[in-house]
């Protein structure tokens, strides 16, 4: 039975505009308490209207990230409460580097990050803050690793995000790539063999390619044997900790609290605008590596200023307000934000079932989270034929805005592909697969429509 979205229309912005207008009026009353002043130079409303009209037209050049037919990259609009809180706070433009620059939003950041720490199981003596994105969060964690284990290597699997090799280069740290199997399983013997060289082992809890969750428990055991740090890159998958019982058992989400540092991106499954990342440290004493002074900040309070535990200086207080407001509405519980994650997970499971039932398509791997890798079975069973078919389907889906679809592509080594699908000829170095990211809760009700449009 196919889902009918006519009874569940997509939400529009009109219901929220009066809420923003009311909040802006109240905030203006606060502004006026400080007395009359010239205020912001007034611009001609008609001129602004023309600029916004031009902007709106340009924005229509985007792909339909808001719609469930878009199952391509990790893109979706933020929750209404997030963009409302962000817009309201941005009119003040607080800076969360120091308490001097944003006392209320700094406190909101501390409260929101404390919720994250509780979600991963950090209980006391932890340290953490929001960042502008996951890349900077990972940079910070690797910087701490360099200070603790100077000269030693950062090790991450071939499926890890490329930011780790890039940031290792930025930090002048040697980098070691760990081989993986065709099913994405890290070579634990390789890690064991190089254990004495490693200062930090990155464990990816949800790769950005196909969403693999790496075996944290086994990698933690190796860290205890060799004495290296564990950095959990949960930028994409971290919030799935909320629905761990619904996920494959190998993920070891209950061991996340044993990682020395953890990165989670609220601007992915936390429903936030870009950019909003976060980094958490199990041991607050690593804050000593960020210690610095400034001749013109850190004067209004004896409390720890967020800039004193971060490599970044200026950071948007609006991001903290948006995340705090979202967690007030959708707390970090299985029935709060976890309900959104559960729908995304359900969508990926339903879609992969349609793939497996199809005679036209085949599944590359079972999803750990909400990302599916699959391909159309070509007439000629070769690596190059699979790639050509994937690229054709990718292009065709975007040709009809109203009845099409938007997917993404993912490249895997042909040797890995042919290890799984023995009857295919590896006539090329790589194979291009179709990839669908079902990170919107609306996807749960759209799977049959999408599968039908793909011809499954």
Q: What CATH number is associated with residue 423?
A: 3.90.1150.170
CB–CB of 243/274 below 8 Å? no
> Is residue 342 located within the same domain as residue 310?
no
Query: Is residue 64 domain-resident?
Result: no
What's the confidence (pLDDT) of residue 1? 33
Query: Is residue 11 domain-resident?
Result: no
> Is residue 284 located within the same domain as residue 151?
yes
pLDDT per residue as tens digits for the range 206-226? 999 999 999 999 999 999 999
Spatial CA neighbour of 94 closest among 238, 240, 369, 306:
306
Query: Is residue 33 domain-resident?
Result: no
> Is residue 351 located within the same domain as residue 278?
no
> Is residue 258 located within the same domain as residue 368?
no
> Is residue 325 located within the same domain as residue 415?
no
Give the mean model confidence (pLDDT) for residues 392-418: 95
> Is residue 202 located within the same domain as residue 286?
yes
What's the confidence (pLDDT) of residue 100? 83
pLDDT per residue as tens digits for the range 134-158? 999 999 999 999 999 999 999 999 9
Distance CA 10, CA 70 (A): 14
> Is residue 359 located within the same domain as residue 292?
no
Give the mean model confidence (pLDDT) for residues 307-320: 89
Say what the pTM is: 0.94
What's the confidence (pLDDT) of residue 293? 67
In this model, does residue 389 exceed pLDDT 70? yes
| 310 vs 388 pLDDT, higher one | 388
Query: Is residue 128 domain-resident?
Result: yes
Query: Is residue 315 domain-resident?
Result: yes
Q: How far is CA 186 from CA 125, 192, 228, 237, in A?
A: 31, 11, 17, 17
> Is residue 175 located within the same domain as residue 211?
yes
What's the confidence (pLDDT) of residue 251? 84
- Calculate ∠ Cα 414-417-418, nearest 5°: 85
What's the confidence (pLDDT) of residue 22? 95
CB–CB of 153/197 below 8 Å? yes
| 421 vs 300 pLDDT, higher one | 421
> Is residue 177 located within the same domain as residue 325?
yes
What's the confidence (pLDDT) of residue 207? 97
> Is residue 428 located within the same domain as residue 409?
yes
Q: What CATH number is associated with residue 192?
A: 3.40.640.10
Query: Is residue 38 domain-resident?
Result: no
End-of-domain residue from the set 270, 298, 329: 329
End-of-domain residue from the set 265, 294, 329: 329
> Is residue 446 located within the same domain as residue 311?
no
Query: Is residue 402 domain-resident?
Result: yes
DSSP string, 146-174: HHHSTTPEEEEETTS-THHHHHHHHTT--
Give the mean model confidence (pLDDT) for residues 353-361: 97
Q: Which domain holds residue 124?
A: 103-329
In this model, does residue 6 exceed pLDDT 50? no
Give the mean model confidence (pLDDT) for residues 316-322: 97
* pLDDT mean across residues, the chain: 93
Q: What domain count does the chain have?
A: 2
End-of-domain residue from the set 329, 361, 377: 329
Query: Is residue 4 domain-resident?
Result: no
| 150 vs 100 pLDDT, higher one | 150
Give the mean model confidence (pLDDT) for residues 26-41: 84
CB–CB of 269/302 below 8 Å? no
In this model, does residue 4 exceed pLDDT 60? no
> Is residue 321 located within the same domain as residue 402?
no
């Amino acid at each position: 039975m196919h889902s009918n979205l006519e009874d569940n229309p997509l939400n529009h912005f009109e219901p929220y505009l009066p809420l923003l207008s009311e909040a802006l009026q109240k905030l203006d009353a606060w502004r006026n308490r400080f007395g009359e002043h010239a205020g912001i130079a007034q611009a001609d409303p008609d001129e602004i209207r023309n600029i916004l009209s031009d902007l709106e037209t340009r924005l229509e050049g985007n792909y339909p990230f808001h719609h469930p037919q878009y199952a391509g990259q990790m893109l979706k609009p933020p929750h209404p409460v997030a963009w409302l809180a962000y817009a309201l706070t941005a009119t003040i433009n607080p800076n969360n580097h120091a308490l001097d620059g944003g006392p209320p939003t700094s406190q909101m950041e501390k409260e929101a990050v404390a919720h994250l720490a509780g979600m991963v199981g950090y209980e006391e003596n932890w340290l953490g803050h929001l960042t502008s994105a996951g890349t900077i969060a990972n940079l910070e964690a690797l910087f701490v690793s360099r200070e603790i284990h100077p000269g030693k290597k950062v090790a991450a699997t071939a499926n890890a995000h490329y930011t780790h090799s890039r940031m290792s280069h930025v930090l002048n740290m040697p980098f070691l790539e760990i081989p993986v199997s065709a099913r994405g399983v890290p070579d634990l013997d390789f890690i064991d063999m190089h254990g004495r060289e490693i200062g930090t082992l990155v464990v990816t809890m949800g790769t950005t390619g196909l969403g693999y969750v790496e075996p944290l428990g086994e990698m933690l055991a190796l860290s205890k044997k060799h004495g290296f740090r564990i950095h959990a890159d949960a930028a994409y998958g971290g919030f799935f900790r909320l629905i761990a019982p619904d996920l494959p058992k190998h993920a070891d989400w209950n061991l996340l609290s044993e990682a020395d540092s953890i990165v989670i991106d609220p601007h992915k499954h936390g429903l936030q605008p870009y950019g909003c990342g976060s980094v958490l440290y199990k041991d607050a004493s690593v804050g000593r590596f960020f210690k610095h002074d400034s001749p013109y900040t850190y004067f209004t309070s004896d409390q720890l200023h967020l800039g004193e535990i971060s490599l970044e200086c200026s950071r948007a207080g609006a991001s903290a307000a948006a995340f705090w407001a979202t967690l007030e509405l959708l707390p970090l519980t299985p029935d709060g934000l976890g309900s959104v994650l559960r729908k995304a997970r359900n969508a990926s499971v339903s879609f992969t079932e349609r793939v497996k039932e199809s005679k036209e398509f085949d599944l590359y791997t079972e999803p750990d989270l909400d990302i599916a890798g699959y391909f159309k079975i070509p007439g000629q069973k070769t690596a190059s034929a699979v790639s050509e078919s994937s690229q054709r389907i990718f292009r065709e889906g975007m040709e009809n805005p109203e009845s099409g679809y938007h997917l993404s592509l993912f490249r895997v080594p042909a040797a890995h592909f042919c290890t799984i699908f023995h009857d295919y000829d590896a006539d090329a170095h790589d194979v291009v697969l179709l990839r669908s990211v079902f990170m919107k809760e609306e996807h749960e009700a759209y799977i049959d429509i999408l599968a039908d449009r793909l011809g499954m």
